[in-house]
Structure 1
Amino acid sequence: MQFSNAAGFVTGANRDLGPAHDDGRLAAARHAFSTPERVALSAAEEAALAAAAEAPLRHEGLELARWTLGVGPRVLLVHGWNSRGAHLLGFARPLVDAGFSVTLFDLPGHGDSTGHAASVVHAGRALRALMADIGSVHGVIGHSMGSAAALLAFAHGLPVKRSVHLAGPSSLTPMVKGIARAQGLVPSDAAAFTGWVENFIGTRIANVDLERLQHGLRHPGLIVHDTEDRIVPFAASQALHAAWPGSHLEPLTGLGHRRLLADTDVIARSVAFIADGAST
């Protein structure tokens, strides 16, 4: 197995997924980790973004679809697994009204972006490329895997003034173990799956855990999570909050993993938190 240097990641595009395994459960685990489902734009989302499209960002042989609305300090909205940038449109108009420009984009293998395979590490590299292309970013709002991608970007030295993390995982190890458990992998296949994941992402799983990323958490952060979330456990946000002195954790109930993206109170709190940093 080949790993990168101290920077942590192999720089190639989507890595070879390798041959299929005879065990269908192991193949299913690989698929669950690496192959997102594409979600089409709704008519309302297409209309909202019609005048905001920008030239795709070329990144690792891919083209990443992106849109920007408004004028002012830049805020990036980062979606989660099996989602797309437009699913965070509810945050865009309030941010624009508060004096920000807002960029949404589709992660590799998602939405209108090219590619077929992805992971949180691919997402983190894509976010870093977008931030580097923009130059100066005031804040980031990330949901689920998008939150984890932001943690990776911050750990690689990309600064923001504030960030909001909505129902996000904070370490990769429990995610990998969760997939292995969900697919019913026996210990030997779970070990094989772990090795495959590390080859696919180009680094050891431990390098994508919170203890290796928390040095990048140097700005104020807002963490929002439903205590009964069935997709990403609330414990992930508790761990992030414990490791991040400048963070504020807001537990929720009754919104689950995705409904919080449309909740007016969550949106208002997130926008207010981002805006508070504009005067500092």
Structure 2
Amino acid sequence: MSSKIYFNTRRFSPSKWLLGIGTRLHHRLAPTHAKRTASKLLLTPQRNQRDDHEPAGLVKQAVHTSEGLLMSYRLGQGPLWLLMHGWSGSASQFYPLMSHIAAQGFTAIAYDHPAHGQSAGNTGHLPRFVRAFDELATKLASEAGPLHGIIAHSMGGAVTLSSRQPGIDTLPLLLISPVLDYVPQLYGMVARSGYSIRLFDAVVKE
């Protein structure tokens, strides 16, 4: 999904007006095709192409979940801290912070959300991210011990706050630019882009 849809804050533009007209007509004339197209556009993150330098000792591991393979990245030894990136991000953006955490005597584990970084998938949305996180956290608890804290950026914060993972509400949380009231904000951003809100609502409900 292009960031121009979600992060365009201009109040009016000809392209925005045309986008609204076009998507409303598309939805009215070919609703099935319109929903399929909207899903591809609005739920497809941009793969992070950053070439971040991997810290020495970094261990990569693919983790099987119901949402596909998730690529995880582990550094250090000690109590476990989990790091989560936001929409169109990747775990690699946390490499410097992971090195710092590991140097303090902890284990830092980051992972790529579905359809992000080196994880599997083409589309992403909050319920998918939450399911993947809950399964990953359960597997980590059985293999490496319980989580001691979570650091999450942007949409990763929404995943943390939406999780049903037992005990997460008692952990130290560092939420960086968290997305709060996720659903109302999402609808607001799509509406400001000019995209048909009725079409977007149909995609969300499906």
TM bucket by the smaller chain?
0.7 to 0.9
Report SS of the residue matched to 2:60.
coil
Correspondence for 1:108: 114
On the 8 A contact 1:33/1:119 being kept in 2, the answer is no
Correspondence for 2:200: 193
Superposed structure 1 runs of 4+ greater than 6 Å apart: none
1:37 aligns with 2:50: no
Alignment of 1:1-280 (within 5 A): 19-21=32-34, 27=37, 30-42=39-51, 44-45=52-53, 47-48=54-55, 51-60=57-66, 62-135=68-141, 136-153=146-163, 155-159=164-168, 160-185=170-195, 189-199=196-206
On the 8 A contact 2:67/2:128 being kept in 1, the answer is no
Identify unmatched segments of 5+ residues in structure 1: 1-17, 200-280
**1:93/1:31 CA distance change after superposition, 3 Å:** same
Deviations along 1:87-135, whole A, 9 cap, x unmatched? Answer: 1222212211221100011110000001001012211211111110111
The residue type equivalent to 1:20 in the other structure is H
On the 8 A contact 1:176/1:194 being kept in 2, the answer is no
Report SS of the residue matched to 1:116.
coil
**1:93/1:157 CA distance change after superposition, 3 Å:** same
Deviations along 1:136-190, whole A, 9 cap, x unmatched? Answer: 100000000111111112x4434252011011111222233223313314xxx41
Report SS of the residue matched to 1:117.
coil
Q: TM-score, normalised by structure 1?
A: 0.56
**1:176/1:32 CA distance change after superposition, 3 Å:** farther
Aligned partners of 1:171 and 1:32: how far apart in 2? 22
Identify unmatched segments of 5+ residues in structure 2: 1-30
On the 8 A contact 1:33/1:179 being kept in 2, the answer is no
Higher relative contact order (CA 8 A, sep 6+): 2
Q: Alignment length, in residue pairs?
A: 171
Aligned partners of 2:37 and 2:184: how far apart in 1? 19
**1:179/1:20 CA distance change after superposition, 3 Å:** farther
Q: TM-score, normalised by structure 2?
A: 0.74
Percent identical = 23
Aligned partners of 1:120 and 1:105: how far apart in 2? 16
On the 8 A contact 2:137/2:165 being kept in 1, the answer is no
